[in-house]
Amino acid sequence: MSDVARQDDENRSKRPILDHPRDAEFESKWYAVYTLPRHEKRVEQHLSLRSVDNYLPTFRVQRRWKNGVKVTLDLPLFSGYIFVRINRTERIRVLEVPGVLAIVGNSSSEMTPLPDAEVDALRAGLHMRQAEPHPLLTVGQRARIRSGALAGMEGIVVRKKNSLRVVLTMDLIMQSVSVEVDGSELEQVGFGALFHV
CATH number at residue 179: 2.30.30
Choose the final residue of a domain: 114, 147, 182: 114
What's the chain's average pLDDT? Answer: 82
pLDDT > 90 fraction of the chain, expressed in percent and rounded: 46
Quote the distance between the C-alpha of residue 113 and its chain's center. Answer: 11
The answer on 182 and 156 residing in a single domain is yes
- Between 179 and 184, name the one with better pLDDT: 179
Number of structural domains, the chain? 2
Find the range with the poorest average confidence among 26-30, 48-52, 97-101, 109-113: 109-113
The answer on 168 and 92 residing in a single domain is no
pLDDT > 70 fraction of the chain, expressed in percent and rounded: 78
The answer on 85 and 63 residing in a single domain is yes
The answer on 150 and 92 residing in a single domain is no
What is the Cα–Cα distance from 73 to 62, expressed in whole angstroms? 6
Residue 132 structural domain: 115-197
Q: What is the CATH number of the domain that holds 27?
A: 3.30.70.940
CB within 8 Å of 169: residues ≥ 6 apart: 136, 137, 155, 156, 175, 176
Choose the final residue of a domain: 114, 141, 161: 114
pLDDT, mean of residues 102-108: 86
The answer on 146 and 179 residing in a single domain is yes
3-state secondary structure string across 82-119: EEEEECHHHHHHHHCCCCEEEECEEECCEECCCCHHHH
pLDDT at 38: 95
**Spatial CA neighbour of 36 closest among 98, 111, 90:** 98
The answer on 77 and 66 residing in a single domain is yes
User: CB-hemisphere CA count at 13 Å for 65?
Assistant: 6
Question: 0.85 exceeded by the pTM?
Answer: no
The answer on 102 and 7 residing in a single domain is yes
pLDDT digits (tens, 9 = 90+) for 43-56: 999 999 999 999 99
The answer on 143 and 163 residing in a single domain is yes
CA of 17: how far to CAs of 14, 20, 24, 27, 179, in Å?
9, 9, 10, 12, 39
The answer on 133 and 96 residing in a single domain is no
- Between 35 and 139, name the one with better pLDDT: 35
The answer on 140 and 175 residing in a single domain is yes
The answer on 173 and 125 residing in a single domain is yes
pLDDT, mean of residues 37-41: 96
User: CB count, 10 Å around CB of 93?
Assistant: 14
Q: Give yes or no for residue 194 having a pLDDT over 80.
A: no
Between the ranges 83-97, 104-118, 170-184, where is the mean pLDDT highest?
83-97
Q: Are 146 and 185 in contact (CB under 8 A)?
A: yes
Band of residue 22 on the pLDDT scale cut at 50, 70, 90: low
pLDDT digits (tens, 9 = 90+) for 107-130: 767 899 999 999 999 999 888 888
The answer on 94 and 2 residing in a single domain is yes
Choose the final residue of a domain: 114, 140, 159: 114
pLDDT at 133: 86
pLDDT, mean of residues 119-145: 79
